[in-house]
Amino acid sequence: MVSLAQTAVERAKRVRLIIFDVDGVLTDGGIYIGTEGELFKAFHCRDGMGITLARKAGLKTAIITGRTSRQVAHRAGELHIDAVHQGCMDKRAAYRELKEQFDVTDAEVAYVGDDLIDLPTMLQCGFPAAVADASEEVREAAAYVARFPGGHGAVRDVIEYILKAQGRWQETIASFYDVTGEADTKPTNGLAQ
């Protein structure tokens, strides 16, 4: 029997849409509450750069998260994430909507998760990925397990894996090797870190 890990590269080659959970994936999973009840979330810049690189390579990005927060909406806006679904305790409905919105099949979707609530979507998508500190069940369901824990560069690691599998990594990062000292005058389409 061929394992998910053995077919990971082939699965990653098909990805056109990458969906992320938030708490425990884009963040470290901690919930920080101030004295006035305000919520704080820490996002990692390398994950932001990874999402920017995915968009630069032409991949669509989306969020499906069980919680609802202004911080997620703000960060998604900064990164120009294509679609955001918050407050989804059953993530399958949002997943179906995203497939329709972006006209993709299960095989063309990557989903990055960390806990049991992510399993139904991970088991349906073509390229399920987990952060390093995901629950055991989620790691076992993943075609690829990131080298880093959630909120610490795991998303960037997954995106690099996908772009390298697709043979698009070098062309995507080529602009960072410009040593001429001249400013790149090409529009960035609002890409941000």
List pLDDT tens digits, range 19-39. Answer: 999 999 999 998 888 888 878
Residues 132 and 149: beta-carbon distance below 8 Å: yes
Q: Which residues contact 13 (CB under 8 A, 6 or more apart)?
A: 165, 166
Query: What pLDDT, on a 0 to 100 scale, did the predictor assign at position 189?
Result: 45
Query: What pLDDT, on a 0 to 100 scale, did the predictor assign at position 187?
Result: 45
Q: What is the DSSP letter of 72?
A: H
How far, rounded to the nearest angstrom, does the alpha carbon of residue 21 sit from its chain's CA centroid?
A: 7
Q: What is the DSSP letter of 182?
A: P
pLDDT at 46 over 90: yes
Taking only the tens place, the pLDDT of each residue in 96-122 is: 999 999 999 999 999 999 999 999 999
Taking only the tens place, the pLDDT of each residue in 135-187 is: 999 999 999 999 999 999 999 999 999 999 999 999 999 888 876 655 454 54
Query: What pLDDT, on a 0 to 100 scale, did the predictor assign at position 190?
Result: 45
The token pair that represents 135 in the structure block: 């629950």
pLDDT band at 1 (very low <50, low <70, confident <90, very high): very low
Quote the CA–CA distance of 138 and 135 in Å, as a whole number. 5
Q: Which residues contact 112 (CB under 8 A, 6 or more apart)?
A: 18, 19, 20, 21, 25, 129, 130, 131, 146, 154, 155, 158
Strand-pair category, 109-113 with 17-20: parallel
Query: What pLDDT, on a 0 to 100 scale, did the predictor assign at position 150?
Result: 97
Helices vs. strands in the chain: H and E counts, helices first: 8, 8
pLDDT band at 40 (very low <50, low <70, confident <90, very high): confident
